[in-house]
Amino acid sequence: MNPAGQLAKALPGAEIRRLVPLQGGDLSEVARADLADGRIAVLKRGPLAGREARMLRAMAAAGAPVPDVLGFDDGLLVLDWLEPGPSDAAAWTACGAGLRRLHGSLAASCGWDEDYAFGPVAIPNGRMESWPGFWAERRLLPFLPHLPASLARRVETLARRLPDLLPARPPAALLHGDLWQGNIHFSGGTGMLIDPACYHGDAEADLAMLDLFGRIPAAFLDGYGTLAPGWEGRRPLYQIWPALVHLRLFGGSYAGLAGRLLERCGA
């Protein structure tokens, strides 16, 4: 990363004293920047930096625990540095309460005002009134051209059945959109939500993803509060999308996961 020129536009007057690459950026470059004025920032470079900045600011306005956006420009996002802290039960509880606040920010329809992407995987977010329609048209069906024929048929079958399996118009909550445990950074006594892919939809989609690659800690659920009856039965319907994302990004080792989830969905 050589962001000095970009930083001058994203954060006027800032100068880098030291730059240290950070681990964890599968789809973007991330570095810690010690600035000449004593501040510490995180620099994240990618083509959708402005969109991520707007998402983080919307999340902050909803009361969610997120890093402050210091600036952005020309593919560079500048965030406040979060000093790492313990991931103890109290921090998980605070994180759950923070996610509940995020989900309390509602919209009139599902979707987001900008599309997004995970690298080569497009994430269409055009707004829709029907939640099953959104999940089918914006999340599952775009994968069909990229799947083996047998898997594509099963995904298509599931998409047709969604009106019978998902609520037609649940509260359109503001979602993190990519909520796995690697996108929770513990700092300041809570879990800070990072690397969002926001849109409005059923809050259970965030919870399902958090449960996909590791069990949700009980302390987190204590902070989040009551879940709607039947949410565990709907969970695989929401987990299939991140499984398909991983299959597209990281290859066939995720085909088995996608197949097992489809089986749990009855497809």
- The count of structural domains within the chain is 2
The residue whose two tokens read 């952005």 is 72
Same domain, 145 and 162: yes
Are residues 159 and 136 in contact, defined by beta-carbon separation less than 8 angstroms? Answer: yes
Same domain, 243 and 145: yes
- Of 80, 111, 130, which closes a domain? 80
Distance of CA 107 to the CA centre of its chain: 18
- pLDDT higher than threshold 60 for residue 86: yes
- Of 80, 113, 140, which closes a domain? 80
Same domain, 30 and 144: no
Average pLDDT over residues 251-263: 95
List pLDDT tens digits, range 190-242: 999 999 999 999 999 999 999 999 899 999 999 999 999 999 999 999 999 99
Q: What's 142's domain CATH number?
A: 3.90.1200.10
Same domain, 105 and 235: yes
26 catalytic per annotation: no
Are residues 247 and 120 in contact, defined by beta-carbon separation less than 8 angstroms? Answer: no
Same domain, 10 and 133: no
Same domain, 93 and 72: no
pLDDT band at 29 (very low <50, low <70, confident <90, very high): confident
Same domain, 76 and 94: no
Q: Which of 80, 115, 178, 206 is catalytic?
A: 178
Q: What is the pLDDT of residue 3?
A: 59
The token pair at 140 is 């599952």
pLDDT band at 26 (very low <50, low <70, confident <90, very high): low
Same domain, 123 and 15: no
The 3-class SS string of the chain reads CCCHHHHHHHCCCCCEEEEEECCCCCCCEEEEEEECCCCEEEEEECCCHHHHHHHHHHHHHCCCCCCCEEEEECCEEEEECCCCCCCCHHHHHHHHHHHHHHHCCEECCEECCCCEEECCEEECCCCECCHHHHHHHHHHHHHHHHCCHHHHHHHHHHHHHHHHHCCCCCCEEEECCCCCHHHEEEECCEEEECCCCCEEECCHHHHHHHCCCCCCCHHHHHHHCCCCCCHHHHHHHHHHHHHHHHHHHHCHHHHHHHHHHHHHCCC
The boundaries of the domain holding residue 64 are 4-80
Tell me the pLDDT of the chain averaged across its residues.
Answer: 94
Give the separation between CA 37 and CA 24, rounded to whole angstroms. 27
Q: What's 18's domain CATH number?
A: 3.30.200.20
